[in-house]
Amino acid sequence: MEDQQVRTKSKFSVHYSVAFRKKVVQEYAKGFLNKEQLRKKYGIGGNTTISKWCQKYSNLHYLEKVTAGRPMKDKLKQRIKELERQLEHEKFKVLAYETLIEIVKQEDGIDVLKKGGAKQSVSLPKPTQEK
């Protein structure tokens, strides 16, 4: 708990240093502990505290909150909007996977992507049963 560098501690809130917040976000990004486990480990209050820190300090992109409004009258326009949201979400997923592949390549020296000119393995003929 020494690492938290608590600035102020009032009856209802505790303020953590930016360095501590970034440390928790990095630890979460490594994937060994989930948000709940990190909350317990460091005694962090609030169910969304670490999620907010991840949105603020993480390299990954998070989707903006979508406000639920009145449904559109035109079903085609509504479908277009829905597909645009899905496309945006998929773009973020691709970016996240590309970032993950880069990190694996840098940290472990493993090239995850298959080379375009790589030869396919030749499959062996299936054994025949002799009677």
Is the pTM higher than 0.85?
Answer: no
Residues 25-62 have pLDDT tens digits of 888 888 888 889 999 999 888 888 888 888 888 876 66
Rounded-to-integer distance, Cα 4 and Cα 20, Å:
6
pLDDT the model gives residue 31: 82
| pLDDT surpasses 70 at 8 | no
How is the chain classified by DSSP, letter by letter? -GGG----B-SS-B---HHHHHHHHHHHHHTSS-HHHHHHHHT--SSSHHHHHHHHH-SS--PPPPPP-PPPS-HHHHHHHHHHHHHHHHHHHHHHHHHHHHHHHHHH----SPPTTPPPPPPPPPPPPP-
pLDDT the model gives residue 110: 82
Phi, psi of 111 (to 5 degrees): -90, 105
pLDDT the model gives residue 14: 77
The ranges assigned to domains in the chain are 1-58, 65-108
pLDDT the model gives residue 85: 93
Q: Percent of the chain, pLDDT > 70? A: 69
Q: Is 70 in contact with 78 (CB distance < 8 Å)?
A: no
